[in-house]
Amino acid sequence: MLIKIIVFICGAVVMSFEILGSRVLAPNFGNSVFVWGSLISTFLAGLSAGYYWGGKIADLNPSIRKLGLIIIVPGLLLVAFPLYGTAVSDFVFTKDPGIRLGPLLASIILFFVPSVFLGAVSPYTTKLTICSLHTSGRTIGTLYALSTFGSIVGTLLTSFYLITIAGVKTLIMAQGILLLIVSIPLLFMKLACRQVDSA
Amino acid sequence: MLKIIIAVLSFLIMPLDNALGAEKIIYQKDSLYQHIVVLEDPAKRERVYYSNKREGIQGGIYTDAPEKLLFEYAGIAFVSLTFLDREPKDVLFIGLGSGSMPQYFNRYYPEANIDIVELDPEIVDIAKRYFYFKESRNMKIHTADGRVFIKRTPKRYDMIFLDAYQGGDIPFHLTTIEFFKEVKGRLKEGGVIVSNILSQFRNRFFDSMVATYDKAFPHLYIFKGRKSNNFIFIATKSSVMKGKEEIYQRARKIQVSRKMDIDLQGISWTCEYCDEYRTDAKVLTDDFAPVNLYRHMKVYD
């Protein structure tokens, strides 16, 4: 159950972060199609790299503790975001690499690493929860659904509501705190189910 | 049975048909940012375009007199000239629309240098093809985001007109105090900012706009449209406050010397000071600017 909640939360944070990301970039790079293109492709690149890498490390002695470590990284990055977010965006702006490269570079620096780690959560949790090959399809399906459902909730909640109650930086920081809250207990937990037929 | 269905259907379609009246679509196009529809109403001799029907019209002209201003707010915006103590030399427009405002400016002040910033290249194309907009040596369009242009330009302006909309909303990054400070930094001494605020009176967005301009500039003057939900905000860089009489006299002088076909004096007399609108609304910042949500939130006293 905890794993399901985690998958849901990570899905929600990814999309909420992406929506808020557009607000982080707009003061320097505007609202052009290049900004949205950069932002979306950076998140997708991060996620796909995360899926690949997460799947790979999931085969090397997976443990719920390591899952905790995977989630702590974006948690810390998001909590610290107010310290470096504007600074990085301003720095790229002053270097002026062009109307396309500017927002792309800023997106990559700010959003790529957290989305890699958040992406890695999906295959890693899948590996942890697959107890039998007979039900693996259902397990995978459930986790995919939860992750995407989380993304929907994150998107709607952020764009319809959260933006009116707090500033962008506060919201990003709050999401980092949320990730830390769910990941720290994992460091002290043991795996409930071993891969019985992983061979 | 079929007859009944047809009768019901035509009944449903009828009001729609009436509402559209004699208007006909003469051009439409999907741009990177919007679906642009150019409409013409031969009876009213109006040609307009919109990108989102519900959010209203973005620009337009009289087909038989394209040099005139079709919209009330555009005329009101020119009252800003009375707040400048000299002749305008360098003028910036953010948001092209149909181009009628810069065109009008250029007609009465042919010696002024006009820069126009427009994000959507299709709008530039449409302004030229359907709204008789012409670039010239001293009237140039820059295809860019308004805020990025403001941040990058080395030029300083006497007047800056802010009229950039996406659908019915001003893009949030053009509503924040950080942006207004950047704009202020691009004004010459004594320069003037003119902003078209399309808003129901009142909602949270309107109140926040007043609060944000009020905080960013020494003085804010407000002109209210009578026929529309447009407000023209005029903010000055100078700390000297203008009295109504002074504005009126200046309007008279401009009217006499430039022979504008709008009633500048009449408009100048409707000036309101922002004290009358001041509330404890939140100032919008780059961190906090829920523009589109605030527009739909009513204010209760």
Q: Cβ contact (<8 Å) for A33 and B286?
A: no
Residue A95 to residues A103, A107, B128, Cα–Cα distance (Å): 12, 15, 34
Closest CB to A167 among B147, B178, B288: B288
Closest CB to B173 among A30, A163, A169: A30
Two tokens, residue B24: 């006909």
Two tokens, residue B231: 């407000």
Digit-coded pLDDT (tens) for B184-242: 999 999 999 999 999 888 899 999 999 999 999 999 999 998 888 899 999 999 989 99
Two tokens, residue B23: 């208007």
CB pairs < 8 Å spanning A and B: 55
Digit-coded pLDDT (tens) for B139-189: 999 999 999 999 999 999 999 999 999 888 899 999 999 999 999 999 999
Residue A146 to residues A6, A91, A156, B143, B151, Cα–Cα distance (Å): 9, 37, 15, 42, 42
Q: What is the ipTM of this complex?
A: 0.86
- The DSSP letter of residue B284 is P
Residue B16 to residues B13, B19, B20, B21, B23, Cα–Cα distance (Å): 5, 5, 6, 9, 12
Contact at 8 Å (CB) between B242 and B274? no
Rounded CA separation B131/B106 (Å) = 15
Closest CB to A26 among B119, B172, B293: B172
Catalytic residues of B: 163
Contact list in A for residue B171 (CB cut-off 8 A) is: 26, 31
Domain regions of chain B by residue span: 72-295
Q: Return per-residue pLDDT of chain A as tens, 199 residues.
A: 889 999 999 999 999 999 999 999 999 999 889 999 999 999 999 999 999 999 999 999 899 999 999 999 999 999 999 999 999 999 999 998 988 999 999 999 999 999 999 999 999 999 998 877 888 899 999 999 999 999 999 999 999 999 999 999 999 999 999 999 999 999 988 765 554 444 3
**Other CB atoms within 10 Å distance of the CB of residue A96:** 10
Q: A2-184 belongs to which homologous superfamily?
A: MFS general substrate transporter like domains (1.20.1250.20)
- Burial (CB count within 10 angstroms: exposed 0-12, middle 13-18, buried 19+), residue B163: buried
CATH assignment, B72-295: 3.40.50.150
Q: Which residue of B has its CA nearest to A22?
A: B173
C-alpha B288 chain-centroid distance: 23
Which region holds residue B259: left if phi is over 0, alpha if psi is between -120 and 50, else beta? Answer: left
Q: Which residue of B has its CA nearest to A85?
A: B287
